[in-house]
Structure 1
Amino acid sequence: MSFTIISNDSIVSVDWLRLAEILELSGLNKRELPKLQHAFEHSQFRYLGFYDGILMATARAISDLTTVSYLCDVAIHPEFQGRGYGKQLMQHILHDLTPLGKIILYAVPDKIEFYRRFHFHPLLTAMAFVKGEGLTRMSELGYLPPLPPQESSCGD
């Protein structure tokens, strides 16, 4: 039984349905397959984790390759969580991205402690521009403080 991580040009094909399932079951948003594929393929850093040939982990990042990288969609299928695979994936990612400066990520609220183990720190000045339903959803999921009634009902 083995866990392997492949990245970037080593990725020759992706089971997009399985990838979408992993993201959704891990607490990230449900994704439309064409948008998921587009985002994944246009990210400079792409990671897939396999356990005995079964896709069970993913992550991706974009970077200016000099001062900052944005890490996102870090997910381990729930059946494989708690076994150290997330740690191995993060170590692989940090090996690649740390030389490129700071790494920014959004964490699912219940995973903040996981990222703290890798020396990630909450930002006091991070901000997001989001309109309409996305703004309401981010507040409901705990990514933003509660919104005043007029802001959360914005129909843009």
Structure 2
Amino acid sequence: MPHTPIDKNKLVYIFNPDLDSIDWTHICELFYKVNWRTRVEDEIRLAFSKSTVTLFVYFEAQIIAFGRTVDDGRYYAQLADIIVDPDYQGNGLGKSLVSKINEQLENYHFVTLTAAPGKGDFYKSLGWKKQTTAFIWPQGPKQRRQHTEPEAE
């Protein structure tokens, strides 16, 4: 159930905008709003500048969703920072965001993502498959708890 229904005809999708035009304070607020680790404006802007694909979704001149890739520009890409403002979730924005970014990666050899805890079923519903050979080097107890298999005792 959407929190704020929207007219999808009023959505504007902008690929690879001039990053100087982005309100990075607002972007950091959206990370906070979805309970992700705190982002620093200059650092997240720099991270986005290194991405081959960035996508920002506007509704009434306000960014309400965004995403990007972490990639080498040709062979390997990972979808990253797929964020939809919780006030606008339930409108199909996540699906649209992932699909539109994925379309830009058509000729890549390997496209992956790390789902936020509890979001695996969403990605499965879009056709993503769980990878059997992926590994993570946990950057702390929270990542170990949320993103790794339980260790045998």
TM (normalized to structure 1)? 0.82
CA distance in 2, matches of 1:96, 1:138: 29
Name the counterpart of 1:51: 59
Instruction: Provide the alpha-carbon RMSD of the alignment.
Output: 2.1
1:144 and 2:152 matched: no
CA distance in 2, matches of 1:125, 1:10: 36
CA distance in 2, matches of 1:118, 1:98: 16
How many residues align? The count is 145
CA distance in 1, matches of 2:148, 2:140: 8
Supply the AA of the counterpart residue of 2:132: L
Measured against aligned partners, the alpha-carbon deviations of 1:94-143 in whole angstroms (never above 9, x if no partner) come to 2111322321111012111111122211112211224xxx2212023x11
Name the counterpart of 1:151: none
Q: Which of these residues, 12, 18, 38, is aligned with residue 30 of structure 1? A: 38
Larger relative CO (CA 8 A, sep 6+): 1 or 2?
A: 2
Counterparts in 2 of 1:23-102, with a 5 A limit?
A: 23-102=31-110
What's the secondary structure of 2:22's corresponding residue? Answer: coil
What's the secondary structure of 2:51's corresponding residue? Answer: coil
Check conservation: 2:19, 2:45, Cα contact below 8 A: no
Check conservation: 1:60, 1:71, Cα contact below 8 A: yes
Name the counterpart of 1:154: none
Check conservation: 1:3, 1:85, Cα contact below 8 A: no
Once the two structures are TM-superposed, the CA of residue 27 in structure 1 deviates from its matched residue by 3.5
Supply the AA of the counterpart residue of 2:124: R
Name the counterpart of 2:3: none
Taking structure 1 as reference, are residues 45 and 106 closer, same or farther at Cα in structure 2, changes over 3 Å only?
A: same
Supply the AA of the counterpart residue of 2:140: L
TM (normalized to structure 2)? 0.83
What's the secondary structure of 1:97's corresponding residue? Answer: coil
Q: Which of these residues, 98, 123, 126, is aligned with residue 115 of structure 1? A: 123
**Structure with greater helix percent:** 1
Check conservation: 1:66, 1:100, Cα contact below 8 A: yes
Q: Which moved more, 1:93-102 or 1:51-60?
A: 93-102
Gaps of 5+ in 1: 149-156
What's the secondary structure of 1:34's corresponding residue? Answer: helix
Taking only the aligned residue pairs, the percentage that are identical comes to 23
Check conservation: 1:49, 1:58, Cα contact below 8 A: yes
